[in-house]
Structure 1
Amino acid sequence: MTIAAGACRPAPAPAHAVITIDGSSTVYPLAEAMAEDFRRAEPGTRVTIGVAGTSGGLRRFCRGELDLATASRPITRQEAASCEAAGVRFIEVPIAYDGIVIAVHPSNTWVDALSIADLRQLWRHEAQGRLVRWAQWKPGYPDREIHLFGAGVDSGTFDYFTGVVTGAPRDSRGDYTASEDDNMLVQGVATDPDALGYFGFAYYEAHKEYLRAVPIRARDDGEAVAPTRESIRTGVYRPLARPVYFYASVRALGRDEVRRLLDYCMTHGPELAEDVGYVPLSPAEQADARARLARERVHS
């Protein structure tokens, strides 16, 4: 008996739809939680998520390499122009609120609160190589080195922090331990009694037994406000509270699986945000984000 060639070969496995996401390490825990839930709901879809930082993710997005970019700040005019030049139209979708936490080691007993002016003095570029000991910063602080940890230059948190603290985006001292990976910053502060660092609220909340958050005054004579979900939600924790975003390619939105992922995020985003340490959008803000997707409103 002759058997036809290939008759006993198993049928090929069905191809999985793939959605590509890259960008902010600050937004990563929320994006990962959303993607994991969506993958369970739709096992035929694979979602890949990178952590190149907001700037790195948006560079890839504007080259047409991604379906979605995550960002901890709004897209810049220059980035939007790069997208336009490459023919990449997009929609900006806020997904939650986050806060930037100023953290010290739990054994630090001398920093009780800081103002934005205090942070400006410490982080502006003029402080590089000059303000390097606690005693140089404020009277009564110990005469020990300050070890600084903060966002890397490809991070949207870096852009936002420098914009509101030093007064000029990307104006920062460079003599600090920088990383786009917030987990590395958390570890640095949590293991060093002389450390001070800044990173996203979700990372602080996940490791708060190893850290101490410093209350912040928007003005020197203002009330010191600790970072909490409520202070971020109400805007009292200003100016270190900010929205975080998905940027969706209009071309990608033509694919059903991308649409379904974003619809899933809009539906389940509030409870997922709560679960992983972010502050949900208000119902009105959530409705506006849904309307943007429904209209495919293009950023201009």
Structure 2
Amino acid sequence: MKKWKYVSLTAVLGSALLLGACAGTSNEEAENSGNSAQQKENGEGQITGSVMGDGSSTVAPITEALVEEYAAVQPNVQVSVGVSGTGGGFEKFIAGETDFSNASRDIKEEEAAALKDAGIEYTKFEIAYDGITVVVNSENDWATDLTIDQLKKIWIEDGTKKKWSDIDPSWPDEEIVYYAPGTDSGTFDYFDEIILDGEDLVRSAQLSEDDNVIVQGVVSDKNAIGFFGYAYYLENKDKLKAVSVNGVEPTNETIENGEYIPLSRSLYVFVNDGKVKENKAFFDFMKFSLENAGDMAEAVGYVRLPDEKYEEGLKRLEELK
């Protein structure tokens, strides 16, 4: 397989990610993907078809890496993945428009009920761990370690124009500038549940489903603060600072062992059970994904699950077949 190392995340944040066939791979790549060069020459194990997904921009970098690797193994399968945010992805999943839906949070009760009403049975697969990372401008040398209470005071709307000095009198008497994921984002939903406790996010926040917009916003203003998935911080760590939360810095280790609480979370792919059964290409892509999700998660900056969790996922997928 290709040696991925914090691949660029920008390309996956357009209206859709469309990766088809990649002609010609090395014998080593083919072997690593479970197909020998001779098998490919003879056309053995090759399938055709199409697969459609949508959903979380946080999960998108993992999917992008998987789709590119899969195209080298099954060049006649077209995998198309949109990036509408977790909520937007579930809307398409409920409408039957997609085979799978990427999500950076668990499914909501109303979404599960809508799927039931639509007659769609589904299965949830956990694919990686993430830590929502709060970031500030690289020139910010005051708000480098925040408590949960301080995060609440910063982010919850209270009818005032907040300054850093309102959070701590020793901090600058400058107005805070906010950047955050859009309301269709699972990252927004998770932050809302854990930090906002259902209260309104500050109304002055600039919202975007494109995490790179948040990066650029924070980079451009020394009084800015934002949050997004851990991988986006790793890709941009030379431009901005990650904030420690309750004294704990987000790292692969602290995210995996649960020390980075309460902002550690799981990332998911939800699949349409019926489409797994009727679409050989979809089953094959999901099998490939679960076999390689750990490596791809690490490659793009997230944290892999224990191997047994991927094995459990593969068993559930086989049962769906």
Listed as ranges, the matches of 1:149-188 within 5 Å are 149-168=179-198, 171-188=200-217
One-letter code of the match for 1:66?
T
For 1:246 and 1:143, the matched residues in 2 are separated by 44
For residue 225 of structure 2, the aligned residue among 184, 189, 196 is: 196
Partner amino acid, structure 2, of 1:137? I
1:93-119, Cα deviation, whole Å (9 max, x unpaired): 011011100000111111130011111
Cα separation, 2, equivalents of 1:191 and 1:41: 42
Instruction: Give the match for residue 239 of structure 1.
Output: 262
Q: How does 1:60-209 map to 2 (within 5 A)?
A: 60-126=92-158, 129-168=159-198, 171-209=200-238
Residue 281 (structure 1) aligns with: 305
Q: Residue 84 of structure 2: SS of its match in structure 1?
A: coil
Structure 1: which 5+ residue stretches go unaligned?
Answer: 1-14, 218-223
Q: Distance in 2 between matches of 1:109 and 1:173?
A: 23
**Partner of 1:21 in structure 2?**
53
Question: Please, what TM-score do these two structures have when normalized by structure 1?
Answer: 0.88
Give the letter aligned to residue 238 of structure 2: E
The answer to whether the 8 Å contact 2:130/2:255 transfers is: yes
- The one-letter code sitting in structure 2 at the alignment partner of 1:118 is Q
State whether structure 2 residue 297 is matched by structure 1 residue 267: no
Q: Distance in 2 between matches of 1:285 and 1:58?
A: 24
Bigger CA drift: 280-289 or 247-256?
Answer: 280-289
Instruction: Answer whether contact 2:54 2:101 (CA < 8 A) is retained.
Output: yes
1:60–1:102 Cα change, 3 Å: same
Q: Could you tell me how far apart the structure 2 residues matched to 1:115 and 1:275 are?
A: 30
The structure having more radius of gyration, on CA atoms, is 1
Distance of 1:271 and 1:163 partners within structure 2: 30
1:58 CA drift (Å)? 0.3
- Secondary structure (helix, strand or coil) at the match of 1:242 reads strand
Q: Which runs of 5+ in 2 are unaligned?
A: 1-46
Deviations 1:46-95 (A, max 9, x none): 11111100000001101100001000000001001111111111100011
Matched residue of 2:175: which SS? coil
1:16: Cα distance to partner?
Answer: 5.5
Contact 1:18 1:47 in 2 (8 A): yes
CA-based RMSD? 1.5
1:294 positional shift: 2.4
User: Cα deviation per residue 1:10-54 (whole Å; 9 max; x = unaligned)?
Assistant: xxxxx9521111000111111111111111111001111111000
Map Cα deviations across residues 237-295 of structure 1 (whole Å, 9 max, x no partner).
Answer: 11101000000001210111111111111111111111100100112222222222223
Aligned residues: 274
Alignment match of 1:212 (pick from 222, 226, 241): 241
- Say if 1:131 and 1:137, in contact at 8 Å, map to a contact too: no
Q: Which residue of the partner structure matches residue 252 of structure 1?
A: 275
Q: SS of the counterpart of 2:212? A: helix
Distance in structure 2 (CA, Å) of the matches to 1:125 and 1:142: 20
Residue 100 of structure 1 contacts residue 200 of structure 1 at CA under 8 Å; is this kept in 2?
A: yes
Give the 3-state SS of the residue equivalent to 1:46 in structure 2.
strand
Aligned-partner Cα distance in 2 for 1:118–1:152: 22
DSSP-derived class of the 1:64 partner: coil
Q: Percent identity?
A: 37
Q: Distance in 2 between matches of 1:131 and 1:284?
A: 49
**Quick one: distance in 2 between partners of 1:37 and 1:47?**
11
